Structure 1
Amino acid sequence: MAANRARGQRAGLTRQAVLEAALRLVDREGLKALSMRRLGAELGVEAMTLYHHVPNKTALLDGVIEQVVAEALPPQFGAATWRADLSAYAHALTSALDAHPNAVPLLLAQPAMTPRLLGTMEAVVGMLHEAGFPLPRTLDVMYSLTSFVVGHAAAQAGGVGGADSMASLDPDTYPLLVGAARESGDDAARARFDFALDALLTGFERELARG
């Protein structure tokens, strides 16, 4: 065991390396496989060594969320219009969640509050406030957008509401549902996401205009 710990130290184990390994494990085997002992084995160190980088299991799970969200972050908010920034972020977050479907339940169940994630939230709030949204409303916008994106990802990961399933229903019993599903095309989920996102952003825009 001491040799394992030494190998981990010589490899320059860092919090970032621990979180990246944790996300790889979740991607490969799911959230249930993630434990300090298992992660230590993946990294070639004792489980206790990990506590130098993440204080507990909750912090480790927060870090996994942080890793997923980090893949969706633009270099900076405020480089374009607020609407373009939010649209780009929503699409990027969707892509990140699609790449890590096993982590989606974690985002639904656990509000992560790492310094890195809080810094991102601060940047979003600042961008929206600079655009003219009242400070309390910036949180409404941010949470509404994030909840929509994560909910969409959860539905996709669970196969909920797919056009394919509705298209296979009995057309005599459900003619409208079947017709709508069949006319939606092969990329219905993406089109539905874009439609809902545009409606959401348009609602925010109207709220700002009433401001």
Structure 2
Amino acid sequence: MPHDGGSGAAGVDPEQLWLRPAEPRRGRRPSFSREVITAAAVALADAEGLEAVTMRRVAAEVGAGVMSLYSYAPDKETLLELMVDHVSGELSVTDAPTGDWRADLKAIAHLQRAHMLRHPWLPAVLSTRRVPGPNTLAFLERALAVLRPTGLDGAAKLEVFAQLTAFVAGHVTHEIAQAAASRSAERAAAEARYLAAVAADGRHPELAEALSAPGRSPAPEATFTRFLNRLVDGLDAD
């Protein structure tokens, strides 16, 4: 039976999903498509969070009966795969790699960050996706081309891209949480007082020294760039 839940992408058949066209059930041709269904699910997730995306809710958004959706997406896990690949189409890059693989890899990371900030549900979903679709594969192809000058073998290049994506996803998750927390001036002031007290208690000299160091720009873009530079500049291409 089709269902809304699921324990992960392991049950999704990639051949069925990506190599065979979605066919509606017999009968009157519906007025929607897999693309329309996926776009509606993405819009819901962007506006209300991933919890809002159920087969019943998506069906209502496209003006269809819920059972008619199952010909295109038999369960929520399949729908999530479709959503990830749908938004991956936004990551299209047409310029050829420059040959400076570190600079190109950083550019990819900045694209990914902007992409995940547009779709805040994406970092959590990426941790369980294992069935890359055509748009995702196109972006992966770009990353592998960027890494060609490193001389790394194929497995290592895949690992570097996975490491980069995991870093971006984790950073964006933290960034979103910090932005939400900073909206409370009272909480921010309490945290500052707490850290000042800890630094002055004499039991945390390393922390006290770190907190007394000149500050760096707290702007999200600048913070991301600093962390990214440390990661990419430290990669070993041997």
State whether TM-score is above 0.5.
yes
**Aligned: 1:115 with 2:147:** no
Q: Which residue of 1 aligns with 2:65?
A: 46
Deviation at 1:80, TM superposition (A): 5.7
SS at structure 2 position matched to 1:174: helix
Displacement of 1:172: 3.4
Give structure 1 regions of 4+ aligned residues with deviation exceeding 4 angstroms.
5-8, 162-166, 177-180
Confirm whether residue 174 of structure 1 aligns to residue 174 of structure 2: no
Matched, 1:184 2:209: no
How much does 1:20 deviate?
1.4
Q: Any conservation in 2 of the 1:15–1:53 contact (CA below 8 Å)?
A: yes
Count of aligned pairs between the two proteins: 197
Decide which moves more: 110-119 or 142-151.
Answer: 110-119
User: Gapped runs of 5+ residues in structure 1?
Assistant: none
Q: Tell me, yes or no, if structure 1 residue 28 matches structure 2 residue 62.
A: no
1:82-133 C-alpha deviation (Å, 9 max, x unpaired):
2232212111111111122133322234334223323432342244235532
CA contact (8 A) 2:99 2:149 kept: no
Deviations 1:156-184, CA, capped at 9 Å, x for gaps: 22229x8957545341322536545x823
RMSD: 3.0
1:194 to 201, 205, 225: 225
Q: Retained in 2: the 8 A contact 1:40–1:46?
A: yes
- Alpha-carbon distance, 1:43 to partner: 0.6
| Aligned-residue offset at 1:195 | 1.2
Between the two structures, name the one with larger relative contact order (CA 8 Å, sep ≥ 6): 2
Distance 1:48 1:153, change over 3 A: same
- CA gap 1:168/1:52 in 2 versus in 1, 3 angstroms: farther
Tell me the equivalent position of 1:71.
90
Contact 1:20 1:67 in 2 (8 A): yes
Partner of residue 100, structure 2: 81
Counterpart AA for 1:171: A
Higher Cα radius of gyration: 2
Q: Write the distance in 2 (CA, Å) between the matches of 1:96 and 1:6.
A: 38
What is aligned with 2:162? 143
TM-score (ref. length: structure 2): 0.69
